[in-house]
Amino acid sequence: MSLINDNETPLVVCVNEDNKSRFLGLLRENGIEAVEVEIEIEVDGNLDKDRAPVK
């Protein structure tokens, strides 16, 4: 896999915990500055475990 970024354009990617280390490593190997940021998403109501609600 090859990634191209001019380091001027922010690249935001959401990955799950299992893929985080691999993906950050891939970015850094390709000379792209990578910063890990953890976000928390709060959802109201009941959710199907495999599906987000459609609004």
pTM of the entire structure?
Answer: 0.45
The two structure tokens encoding residue 50: 């495999």
Contact status, residue 7 vs residue 32, Cβ threshold 8 Å: yes
Per-residue confidence of the chain (55 residues) as pLDDT tens digits? 455 556 666 667 777 788 888 888 888 888 887 778 787 777 766 666 666 555 5
CA 16 to chain centre: 7
The residues, ordered by sequence, that sit 6+ positions from 43 with a Cβ below 8 Å of its Cβ are: 52, 53
State residue 52's pLDDT score. Answer: 59
Contact status, residue 42 vs residue 34, Cβ threshold 8 Å: no
Closest CA to 4 of 36, 31, 34, 37: 31
